[in-house]
Amino acid sequence: MVDVWDTTLSMLFAALEGFAVYALMLYVFRFDLKNYIWHALVIVTLSNLQGHFMSGTELSYTSPLINIVFSVLFMRFVVQLPLIGALASVIIGYFGYALLQFLVIIVMFGSLEGLNDANLTRWQVQLITGVIGIVFARLLYKFGIGFTNDFDKFKFPLEKQIITVLAVLFSIGLSVVLYSENLIAAGIFFMVAMFIFVYYAMRKEAEE
């Protein structure tokens, strides 16, 4: 029962952490999080679920990379930023959150060495950083501080088609690896997320 409770809390705080990253990615580039809140929650939840089932395995090191790929595809296909803009927003979002978390740790513990691996300590850092990240990003948006999202001039020919094909190939390749490692649950959540991205890519293509 304790393990279930710890797992549930870990995923909740990780979701808050991921949501704060998405808030920074969107608000800094003048996108209102409210317009994408459910999309972001779904992708963050799927990312956490696949990461949970991969933790403790030989492939656990790929989980952060998969989260970054999800974030880029989210900004590219759901928010409809060109690839250069999607990459820029993800870099700023993750770097901004990492910087905030570093400052929180320094204020709370004096140094990185003061941080320990206890769940309570980790949850405290995630909670405080997550809340600060969301509030800070929202204030930037409210006061008109951020970058313009005029990246259309950097869009290259057939960008969407190329990224869609690469995403499908990446999905197939990783799914085969996950299946071979008996990580069926992680593979299912990964494929659901990738299906969402492909759906938005195809829907936008049909609209155009």
Helices (H), 75-145: 83-109, 119-142
- Which residue would you say has higher pLDDT here, 145 or 130? 130
Higher pLDDT, 208 or 26: 26
| pLDDT over threshold 60, residue 208 | no
Q: Per mean pLDDT, which range of 44-48, 114-118, 133-137 is the poorest?
A: 114-118
Of the two residues 22 and 161, the one the predictor is more confident about is: 22
Q: How far is CA 69 from CA 22, 41, 90, 122, in A?
A: 13, 16, 9, 25
pLDDT for the residue 110:
73
Res 2: pLDDT: 47
Do residues 175 and 191 make contact, with C-beta atoms less than 8 angstroms apart?
A: yes
The residue that leads in pLDDT, 76 or 114, is: 76
Beta-carbon contacts of residue 90 (< 8 Å; ≥ 6 apart): 25, 68, 71, 72, 75
Output the pLDDT for position 181.
63
Reply yes or no on whether the pLDDT at 99 is more than 70: yes
- Residues 48, 198: Cα–Cα separation, whole Å: 20
Sign of the Cα torsion 88, 90, 93, 95 reads: negative
pLDDT of residue 182: 62
* 43-57 confidence digits (pLDDT tens): 898 888 887 777 777
Among residues 203, 131, 126, the alpha carbon closest in space to that of 164 is found at 203
Query: Residue 94 above 90 pLDDT?
Result: yes
Residue bearing the bigger pLDDT, 58 or 114: 58
Of 10-24, 66-80, 177-191, give the lowest mean pLDDT range.
Answer: 177-191
Query: Which of the two residues, 61 and 46, has the higher pLDDT score?
Result: 46
